[in-house]
Structure 1
């Protein structure tokens, strides 16, 4: 163990050390023989440590420019900022925490200032499902359960029909944040992935971890899980790499993987590139949205694609011109996949997403028959689009018809799931809530509320009420047409003048 950095807090009588083994150790100076705790989450040697006693936080930074914030009392990792998110690039040379402005100053090729924004505790009258932001949630049709997980590595199991909390287990991935979850094909096993680079297979009814799959942290930073039609036991050992992936694959972190039976696989990455694969042979069919190299001095645009959805009723018809794959980002982009001379080609159709405040799309899901698309943005709004006959014969001039929209959360949605058999929509958000809606947007309830519901009895739903925090949030107010458009103050003055002239003319005519 080679120690490279330490921090001492006299108020709490704590000593922190970090070094080449990537582990932060917590010591009591009067008991030097053994650490009282260990924080394991960094994937590179620890370069900087600081104890902010007033905020009850620990700040750490590693040589890969990753910043982490820890809870001083329970040692949970509260926040992780990777270099892509923080924009810190270059070789790390120095760090310093500025307590008066609550900011971390980082020196590399340039100086960066990361401000700490303390999240306010939920107000007592507000209902929350977790104490920390929720990463994702899934519905288990085998048992009729809803499983949700939070950044605090807490997993909760809820009864879908009533909203009752059935069980919870904490520290699922130790101090590391859970990034994703799914079920095996039988629905009897829960699989979670975390920032510690591990996959864990659970009997989630009793919280017992059946198996932990580990990988060298240098090979994988973010784990993405998708449902597989095969039993998970066949995948305990990593499969051989695809040659096309090694030679021509993604150059940036992969954010999403989706499958379309029988053999199509689509992956998307942080730089916006999408690749279509033959899942059986590993052969690459085509690349979509390939990023263009920009000058380092230019402002980097967020091109990341974190969600892909196949329109499965169309994807198998390669001779059709219909759009069969959609992706998220600043716009919804739909792609037509066509076979020509035995090769799978693509055509891109772009249409703007009509969201409030030009907010980025965070999640999307389509109905089984590809008739409707449910799209969520980072302001917490959910939009329903009619796509039954949209882009069947090629590009469209207008976006699809917006059937309905409503505000489901006061912050960005992290997942959407349609439960079509029960005609319900499940949503989760970083606002710490998991909510259940009818497919028409009627509010059923929030998991964690004191009053239980009967999902099959509409009289027990919260509808026509809406969550209190949504009702009180200013961004839930209707948008005035003038405010929604990009107009200058000069244009507004002219509009007011024209309106005044029209009023005077009308008065003269009336006289």
Structure 2
């Protein structure tokens, strides 16, 4: 039951509050579902006012508690209790005076509260979501970033400033979102949830256009979904049909007879006609999308170092197929791809040659601690590969000529690396070949330059200007990364490598002795 409301013409927002102690934010043109909910009051809300000039929301409840909210982040900035404010008696009326920035409250007496609105200091811990972020994507058509959380919350961010533009909750009910992508026009958002459904959205207003039955997406002129049913489900895109449920097309015969035996974890496209899928048991299958037949299967090379430790088999590579994570690398002789957060993986990256017989041509471990690879992306022209792991590190490798002349015994040149998050990096995406977008289970979505300069975290208090490097957070880094023990450089003595150091010193001494044999002379102090 509503007890108060406020309409902001400048922001085109309607706010309501009532007996359930929740302030709801509405789009007046879509009254069926609120775009946000502010939860902090412990008594029914009886007054709401939106101050567009200050980007603030003022509210009051029946227990005479006054709260100030940030209009953009929808977070509570300040709470004034009745005792601290000197408000006594039953509430009668309330009025906000914008000229003096004061709140006039009428009870048994009239109380005038002068509000000092100051920008709060930047908190040490900035988060983009209140829950882990499984994925995010950049929309080049609108220059926006869309992220989602395990609580089924979708947020739309301005890429150029990092500010929150809009969002909606309950996208898949109580089920978390596991993946998202856009259609070719960039106007529709496709999400996959733990409820096994795909949903297609007009994400600017949060309106659901379609609901599909089953798992993960890849847009062309159809949507391909994979997941726990171990099947490859193909939905033909019908952009003009907004009122019916879509059903998948008949399964490919090879998929039914010779497809995956375990849950499919990921899918990647290798234009123009190849599709790669990878399952929980490490199997990677390359498909011909046109015929629906298996093109080849990739047998993951065993990892000799970890086999004795019982850590399982190594992951698959860096290109057209995947285990946990895949990335397509086009052209040339090498066709690689890469693993992710599957328990069977040990963190290696393998390059494959798909044509003229599928065979691995290179395998290396990017992480210093052999952490599992969780995401990978490649620049245009297959020049650089960005590999992220479960410890939050991003490693950059030069792969321009790697594997083109035949099998490689060494890893590619490591151009640079940095720590982007304190937890698993769930997605990486290169934007305009100048910026790197990342998300993580540490609740953050961040933007970096391609050489690792920290631009900012989406949702931070101070916006950045993407065209002005002076506005970036660099050379500062997120405080939780700076203070995390795993961010400290590895020292050979602390790591127990003293024996190695001694061996090197002995070798150096031996070299010195060979170059300068003993002459019977020595240097030292003498006592008289």
Pair 1:453-2:467 in alignment: no
Distance 1:483 1:445 in 2: 33
Q: What is the match of residue 256 of structure 2?
A: 246
What SS does the corresponding residue of 2:415 show, helix, strand or coil? strand
Q: What is the match of residue 286 of structure 1?
A: 296
Residues 36-185 of structure 1 aligned to structure 2 (within 5 Å): 125-185=124-184
Preserved CA contact (<8 Å) 1:273 1:291: no
Distance 1:239 1:482 in 2: 60
Note closer, same or farther for the CA distance 1:300–1:245 as it changes in structure 2 (3 Å cut). Answer: farther
Preserved CA contact (<8 Å) 1:272 1:291: no
Preserved CA contact (<8 Å) 2:137 2:146: yes
Note closer, same or farther for the CA distance 1:498–1:361 as it changes in structure 2 (3 Å cut). Answer: same
Distance 1:354 1:482 in 2: 22
Q: What is the match of residue 414 of structure 2?
A: 402
What SS does the corresponding residue of 1:313 show, helix, strand or coil? coil
Determine which of 347, 355, 364 is the counterpart of 1:338: 355
Q: Give the structure with higher Rg (CA).
A: 2
Q: What is the match of residue 232 of structure 2?
A: none
Determine which of 331, 351, 375 is the counterpart of 1:313: 331
Note closer, same or farther for the CA distance 1:369–1:498 as it changes in structure 2 (3 Å cut). Answer: closer
Determine which of 248, 272, 277 is the counterpart of 1:267: 277
Deviations along 1:218-263, whole A, 9 cap, x unmatched? Answer: xxxxx22223255732793311111111111111111111111211
Gaps of 5+ in 2: 1-121, 223-235, 240-244, 303-308, 316-322, 340-344, 511-517
Q: What is the match of residue 469 of structure 1?
A: 480
Distance 1:361 1:159 in 2: 29
Q: What is the match of residue 510 of structure 1?
A: 523
Distance 2:368 2:359 in 1: 28
Structure 1 residue 393, shift from structure 2 partner: 1.2
Determine which of 475, 478, 481 is the counterpart of 2:489: 478
What SS does the corresponding residue of 2:366 show, helix, strand or coil? coil
Note closer, same or farther for the CA distance 1:229–1:372 as it changes in structure 2 (3 Å cut). Answer: farther
Determine which of 442, 457, 463 is the counterpart of 2:453: 442
Preserved CA contact (<8 Å) 2:175 2:193: yes
What SS does the corresponding residue of 2:238 show, helix, strand or coil? helix
Structure 1 residue 326, shift from structure 2 partner: 1.7
Distance 1:406 1:493 in 2: 26
Preserved CA contact (<8 Å) 1:364 1:373: yes
Deviations along 1:364-396, whole A, 9 cap, x unmatched? Answer: 000111111000011111111000111101111
The alignment's TM-score, normalised by the length of structure 2, stands at 0.64
Distance 1:334 1:509 in 2: 56
The alignment's TM-score, normalised by the length of structure 1, stands at 0.66
Q: What is the match of residue 226 of structure 1?
A: 218
Structure 1 residue 409, shift from structure 2 partner: 0.7
Gaps of 5+ in 1: 1-122, 216-222, 293-297, 315-321, 340-344
What SS does the corresponding residue of 1:191 show, helix, strand or coil? strand
Q: What is the match of residue 312 of structure 2?
A: 301
Distance 2:165 2:448 in 1: 20
